[in-house]
Structure 1
Amino acid sequence: MERSPVRTTIQAESGIPFRLVYSDTKSPQNELPDHLHDWHEIIYVYRGQGSIFIDTGLENMQEGDLFIIPGSTVHRALPDAGNPVTSSALFFSPGLLASTAGGAASSLLSLFERCRKQRVYKRHLNTEEQSQVAALIDDIQTEFQLGHHLSAHAALLRLQLLLIFLERLEAAGPANPGKSAPGPSWLSSTISHIDDNLRNGLSLPELAQHASVSPAHFSRAFKRYTGMTLTDYALARRVIMAKEHLVQGDETMAAVADACGFDSLPHFYRQFKKLTGTTPAAYRRTMNSSR
Structure 2
Amino acid sequence: MPHAIYRADGEEPQMKSVFEQWSVSPLVPYMRQADFAVRYPYKHGERRLLDYLLIYVQEGSFHLHVEGKEYKLRNGDFGLVQPGDLHAFEGATNTITPFAHLDLFYNPQRQDSFPTKPGQVALGDYAHLMQPRLNDYDDVQVPVQFYPSDATHFRDTFLRAIALWMEQTPLARLEVQQLMTEVVLMLLQSYGKGGHAPADAGQLNWVTSYCSLRLSERLTVEQLAHQAKLSPSRFTARFRQTFGQSPYQYVLRMRVQHARELLAGSTSTLPQIADLCGFTDIHHFSKAFKKSTGVTPGSYRHEHQRQSY
TM-score by length of 1: 0.44
- Whose radius of gyration is greater, 1 or 2? 2
Query: Using CA pairs below 8 Å that are at least 6 residues apart, which structure has the higher relative contact order?
Result: 1
User: Which has the larger helix fraction?
Assistant: 1
